[in-house]
Amino acid sequence: MAEETLITAGKAKTGGRTLTPYFFVLPAGIVMIAGLLYPVADAFYLSFYDWKIGTKFAKAEFVGFDNYIRMFSDPDVRESIWVTFRFGFWTILIEMIVGVSLALLLEKPIRGASLFRTIFILPLMVSPVVVGLIWRYLFDARVGWINYYLGYLGIEPQVWLGDAELAFFAIVFTDIWQWTPFIFIIVIAGLQALPSEVLEASRIDGANWWQQIFLVKLPMIRSILLIALLMRLIDVFRALEVMYILTGGGPGRATELLSLHIYNRAFDAQLLGYASAISVLLISIVFLLSLGILVVGNPMKEKSDI
């Protein structure tokens, strides 16, 4: 009898021990489910319906895969994806180059480095809505500063936000202005954490400045660069506020990123089911891209090797 009790107690103990870790991740799990899985699942569910705001959802018509079929044959959606990829390509490329270069320049303790660093990260602290407004006034065709100063150079006033190519340039430029500091901060933190022994060793081995950067420093912060790239890539697909205020997606669909396209479809045209279907596409694209980058070079894996 006593023996039996002991055994049961032992069993319970083992069972408890295996459950403990799950118990600790439970709060995080709940937050994940409530904040992430539920909305995504709901969007997925909604994408099979034709629902109009203001009517009871019970009255919404089930349309099966109609929204998806329409989406894949919709040239506007394709154009929006194309705009998003072009936007992502140019902004991330330039932000990486400029951000990394600035970090390499300001890494050394030169005079006033901390002042420069503070100035460089200022744009990051401005709320996207304000960024949108500031640049909207700067790019304004009639009263904007940019046209005003270009006038001194004898350049005709340009309709920055009303011409397809100029407007695309404007949103790329604004994004670079705001997000280069993000790359800059991450990279400079990585550079300063590099072990000085390795750099010293390479110098003794006769590496010049270029070789030190391209063969030693950058490869050593590779995982940090990848994380920065990944975060920017996801940001590109989430970007909305700045373009919403700057151009509203126009002229035409020249600056209508996929997220803005979803917003316009959902709330301007009131096509909620259809907008949900496009959201599902957006999630899939971001998911695949993130997965791709992680497969190519998992920064976590590298860390576990050390």
Instruction: Find the binder of other proteins among 162, 177, 230, 286 (CB under 8 A).
Output: 162
Q: For 284, what's the count of Cα atoms within 13 Å in the CB-facing half-sphere?
A: 9
47 lies in the binding site for other proteins (CB under 8 A): no
Q: Spell out, one character per residue from 167 to 206, where the chain touches other proteins: x when CB under 8 A holds, - when not.
A: x---------------------------------------
**C-alpha 297: how far from chain center:** 18
Q: How far apart are the first and last CA of the chain?
A: 52
Instruction: Find the binder of other proteins among 217, 253, 275, 278 (CB under 8 A).
Output: 253
**C-alpha 203: how far from chain center:** 37
Considering only the stretches 2-10, 98-106, 187-195, 247-255, report the one whose residues sit in contact with other proteins under the rule CB under 8 A.
247-255
Q: Which is nearer to other proteins, 61 or 302 (CB)?
A: 61
Considering only the stretches 37-45, 47-55, 125-133, 288-296, report the one whose residues sit in contact with other proteins under the rule CB under 8 A.
47-55
Q: Spell out, one character per residue from 115 to 154, where the chain touches other proteins: x when CB under 8 A holds, - when not.
A: -------------------------xxxx---x-------
Is residue 221 a contact partner of residue 293, using CB atoms and an 8 Å limit?
Answer: no
**Minimum separation from the CB atom of position 52 to other proteins (A):** 8
CA 186 – CA 201 distance, rounded (Å): 25
**Minimum separation from the CB atom of position 199 to other proteins (A):** 50
Is residue 144 a contact partner of residue 137, using CB atoms and an 8 Å limit?
Answer: yes
Q: Spell out, one character per residue from 261 to 300, where the chain touches other proteins: x when CB under 8 A holds, - when not.
A: ---xx-xxxxx-----------------------------
CA 210 – CA 18 distance, rounded (Å): 53
Between 128-138 and 164-192, two packed helices, what is the crossing angle to 10 degrees? 130
The neighbour count for residue 236, using CB atoms within 10 Å, is 22
Q: Is 57 helix (H, G, I), strand (E, B) or coil?
A: helix
The neighbour count for residue 172, using CB atoms within 10 Å, is 19
Q: Spell out, one character per residue from 83 to 112, where the chain touches other proteins: x when CB under 8 A holds, - when not.
A: ------------------------------
Instruction: Find the binder of other proteins among 88, 99, 132, 251 (CB under 8 A).
Output: 251
CA 88 – CA 238 distance, rounded (Å): 11
247 lies in the binding site for other proteins (CB under 8 A): yes
**C-alpha 200: how far from chain center:** 36
Binding site for other proteins (CB under 8 A): 52-56, 76, 140-143, 147, 157, 159-164, 167, 247-253, 264-265, 267-271
